[in-house]
Amino acid sequence: MTNVYIETYGCQMNAYDTELVQSILVDANMHIIPTVDAADVALLNTCSVRENANNKVLNRIHALKRANKTLIVGILGCMATNFKTQLLDNNRLQIDLIAGPDSYKQLPALIADAVDATHSDKPFDVTLSEFETYDTIVPNRTEGANAWLAIMRGCNNFCTFCVVPYTRGRERSRSADSIITEINDLVAKGYKQVTLLGQNVNSYRYGNDTFTDLMRRITQETAIDRIRFTSPHPKDFPDDLLDVIAANPAICKQIHVPLQAGNDRILKKMNRTYTQSEFLTLIHKMRDAIPGVALSTDIIVGFPTETYDEFLDTVRVCETVKFDHAYIFKYSERPNTRAALKFPDDVPLDEKTQRITELVKLQKKHSLHQNKRWVNTVQSILVERWDGETVIGRNDANVLVYVDAAHNRAAIGSFTNVFVTDASPHGLRARALSQ
């Protein structure tokens, strides 16, 4: 039996894809193992969104081959699609096979070809599909509190900084019936939360079903306790979706709404298709429809030609919104994107560093402000893990909660009520309550 070890890098979609890969390989009589020591094959499920992720993978390949020259090393995911030629032609990397995000059903054959000493060429498949590829495969999940569930793949937006349309193809959605079936199976297995995934999740459409229709059906046709989703695009966030979120207790009152930049000229260069004013109008709608909603975002600083004054527009939006949480990144040029082809990366690194430092400091202030609203309240948290005598979980707003619960050992994947005693920019401290 072939022993396969898998490492996952990048986004939640990659985590879900790894679960699909595990299922495909187990069905092919391969054995998934938790460490690389006894592996015949090591698969790295990669991300290509940021340069640091690429460098980390390349360094890992060298380390694996130094430790075991006979180990078969395969690259999966976005790097496989985005850098196919470089990966296959660079003999120094010693990669044995590659497979893109839509080619995982071919992995058993690709692995067999890589193991076959008579096979002279490096096997690969980076074909992108026009249809949902994996809707009949049940992911091989490990037990936990949350289950990732991809409802669609690909993206049609072509933001100039993003590789996703090129590495994952065009948008295509799963049927609502298959999604409902999978969620009901998760409920039967004891899962309490599902997070719906898509590169642009609110552009989901299958037949006549929109994302709003899907969310309504999930609340009506399943008994899942908590529903989250990520990531939506501000350009197509319908009012009726806000109404469904507000009306259904199972849908978490937390929305990730990527800003990327606060200046209209930069937003246009990014091809984000909304203005600062339109973004802020959406935020006001969200807060009017869903009082107390928790909001998180993505921001890029130092996009090509961004001046410091234009960066300050992003700061002003953050001051206005006061996001609960923000993922903030320095712009890094991604090969094959429109930005890489059209816009020189002309903002100096030290200026990007200065801007990200300024924005991170501001966001810590806002996160602390937002987290303090939970102090002296009772929160229901979904337990994710234990660290010694501390239970760690998240409330409905997706805030991490650390609970001294030595005498109340709530099980992973269960709900427990806690009393919040303190807040920091990074989470909440609480004490357990009697159940």
Q: What is the per-residue pLDDT across 159-174, written as a single tens digit (0 to 9) for each? A: 999 989 999 999 999 9
pLDDT digits 0-9 by tens, 226-248? 999 999 999 989 999 999 999 99
| SS3 assignment, position 428 | strand
d(CA 426, CA 421): 14
Q: In terms of C-beta density within 10 A (0-12 exposed, 13-18 middle, 19 or more buried), how is residue 316 classed?
A: middle
Helix (H) or strand (E) holding 211: helix 211-221
Give residue 133's pLDDT. Answer: 85
Helix axes 276-289, 239-247, angle to 10 degrees: 30
Give residues with Cβ within 8 angstroms of 300, minimum separation 6: 161, 260, 261, 270, 329, 330, 331
Q: What is the mean pLDDT of the chain?
A: 94
Q: Please, what CATH class does the domain formed by 375-432 belong to?
A: mainly beta
pLDDT of residue 396: 98
Q: Does the pLDDT value for residue 144 go beyond 60?
A: yes
Tokens representing residue 18 in the block: 């790894």
For position 119, what pLDDT does the model report? 63
Asked if omega into 231 is within 30° of 0 (cis), the reply is yes
pLDDT number for residue 60: 95
Helix (H) or strand (E) holding 229: strand 226-230
Residue 339: C-alpha distances to residues 5, 83, 139, 305, 361 (Å): 36, 17, 35, 11, 28
CATH superfamily of 3-125: Methylthiotransferase, N-terminal domain (3.40.50.12160)
**In the prediction, which pLDDT does 236 show?**
82
> Which residue ranges does the chain devote to CATH 2.40.50.140?
375-432
Strand pairing report for 415-424 and 427-432: antiparallel
CATH 3.80.30.20 in the chain: give the residue spans.
146-372
- The predicted pLDDT at position 89 comes to 81
- Region 134-163 average pLDDT: 92
3-class secondary structure, 187: helix
Domain with CATH 3.40.50.12160 in the chain: 3-125
Query: In the CATH scheme, what is the code of domain 146-372?
Result: 3.80.30.20
Full-prediction pTM beyond 0.85?
Answer: yes
Residue type, 309: D
